[in-house]
Amino acid sequence: MAAWDTRPLLPVLATVVTMALIFHQSCRALELGGCHEPLGMENGAIPDADITASSAYDSASVGPQHGRLRHDKNGGAWCPRSQISKEAHEEYLQVELHTLHVITGAQTQGRFGNGQGQEYAEEYSIEYWRPGLAKWLRWKGRNRTDQGLLPGNTDTYSVVEQVLDPPILATRIRFVPYSLHLRTVCMRAELIGCRWLEGLLSYAMPQGVQRGSGIDLTDRTYDGREEGGRLLGGLGQLVDGQKGVDNFRLDVRGYGKGYEWVGWRNDTGGFPGRPVELIFEFDRVRNFSSMYLHTNNLHTKEVQVFSHAKVYFSIGGRQFTGEPVFFSYMPDLIMEAARNVTIKMHNRVGRFVKLQLYFASKWIMISEVSFDSVFQDGH
């Protein structure tokens, strides 16, 4: 048989192999598609003791325990003592979830009261809390410019559902009724979502930067605080379940160019050659097996996956001792698709994880981070 010259095929084979590596890696992120279950207001999984309120017009008949969706016992809903207006809207119905949950939606009704009720909330906001937050926060949509008001009900019986995008990560939720005009309101409610098994409470990192040409690579939904250009004590776009598109220069979702990507330039820290450093805090000490990062690789626009990473672990968050996990990424200057990068963490233990990403090009861009871990016995 004649010998084949395979040299012309090598670039093609390299491309095929690279595509296989990119598109067959495990896809890890907050899976919002399967996070749409009622959390227990209607079916009673949330007990009466975990449903409280700022006040009630009458605790026995319209107390917070009656603020359950599709229930019509006694007075038929939760009704606060005070009327609501745009100047007076501090009344709330509070749900204690105890453990971290992802809240992706909310359902509300008014007070049907066996056909005698007339009260409902035309609008409401949602406030949330989780360990580590200094105060209750009001949920806002992705544009961050509104007041966080959600459309409520227009009658006493219909169930109205609102999708919360971005989702909320919380252990406690409040429904806060609102009205432009003074009125009596009553509410029945349900929360939609799922358990947040990763246990991530917050991440700290340098705020992303503007890239020019209207491209915003900041973490726009971060719910912590910013001090000296560093984000502290909150969560944001890196854990919202939305992965960035390959070409960050496009405004695909209508929120602006670069949305869903958080990006840093190689002189972000003021000293070229220094890594980007992120610190993740968890609910308790965990044994970590893997970390997953969704990264951009539009290399013709000076964006590449980080060249290498170092991962450190700490129990208390002050000292990160021991040898770090070291991970090196082979540069890909063929395919420009965004991809998932898996860092094996080899069952290292900690409650805090420090990640250092080193630049392979001018820019590093990330849209999602997630972890595989289990509780560590003895902690």
Write the DSSP assignment of 331-349 as a string of letters: --SS----EEEEEEEEEEE
The whole-number pLDDT of residue 34 equals 84
21, pLDDT greater than 80: no
**Exposed, middle or buried: residue 46 (CB in 10 Å: 0-12, 13-18, 19+)?**
buried
Residue 188 near residue 79 (C-beta atoms within 8 A): no
* Stronger pLDDT, 77 or 26, i.e. the higher one: 77
Q: What is the largest distance, in Å, between two alpha-carbon atoms of the chain?
A: 94
26, pLDDT greater than 70: no
Residue 108 near residue 134 (C-beta atoms within 8 A): no
Q: Which tokens sit at 256?
A: 């602006």
Beta bridge partners of 38: 192
Q: Distance between CA atoms of 192 and 107, rounded to whole angstroms?
A: 8
13, pLDDT greater than 50: no
Residue 266 near residue 308 (C-beta atoms within 8 A): no
Q: Give the range among 15-24, 219-228, 253-262, 323-332 with minimum mean pLDDT.
A: 15-24
Q: Which tokens sit at 95?
A: 């749900």
The whole-number pLDDT of residue 43 equals 97
Q: Distance between CA atoms of 231 and 242, rounded to whole angstroms?
A: 20
Burial per residue of 212-229, b for 16 or more beta-carbon CB atoms within 10 angstroms, e otherwise: eeebbbbbbbbbbeeeee
Residue 258: closest CA among 201, 291, 296: 296
Q: Distance between CA atoms of 200 and 220, rounded to whole angstroms?
A: 19
Average pLDDT estimate for 136-149: 85
**Exposed, middle or buried: residue 358 (CB in 10 Å: 0-12, 13-18, 19+)?**
middle
Q: Is 156 helix (H, G, I), strand (E, B) or coil?
A: coil
Is 34-195's fold the same as 199-375's?
A: yes
| Amino acid identity for residue 291 in this structure | M
Q: Phi/psi at 258 (nearest 5 deg)?
A: 85, 0
The whole-number pLDDT of residue 69 equals 98
Domain locations in the chain? 34-195, 199-375
Alpha helices in the chain (DSSP H): 10-23, 59-62
Superfamily of domain 34-195: Galactose-binding domain-like (2.60.120.260)
The radius of gyration of the chain's CA atoms, rounded to the nearest angstrom, is 24
Residue 200: closest CA among 276, 263, 129, 286: 286
Written out in words, the top-level CATH class of the domain with range 199-375 is mainly beta
The tens digit of pLDDT for each residue in 301-323 reads 999 999 999 999 999 999 998 99
- CA distance from start to end of the chain: 67
Length of the chain: 379
Question: Cα 87 to chain center, whole Å?
Answer: 31
Q: Which tokens sit at 286?
A: 């965990």
Read off the pTM. 0.88
What is the pLDDT of the chain when averaged over all its residues? 90
375, pLDDT greater than 50: yes
Beta bridge partners of 15: none
Residue 42: closest CA among 95, 118, 6: 95
353, pLDDT greater than 50: yes
The DSSP H or E segment spanning 79 is none
Beta bridge partners of 103: 168, 193
Q: Is 99 helix (H, G, I), strand (E, B) or coil?
A: strand
Asked if residue 206 has a cis previous peptide bond (ω within 30° of 0), the answer is: no
The tens digit of pLDDT for each residue in 246-289 reads 999 999 888 899 999 999 999 876 657 799 999 999 999 999 99
Q: Which tokens sit at 321?
A: 């001792």
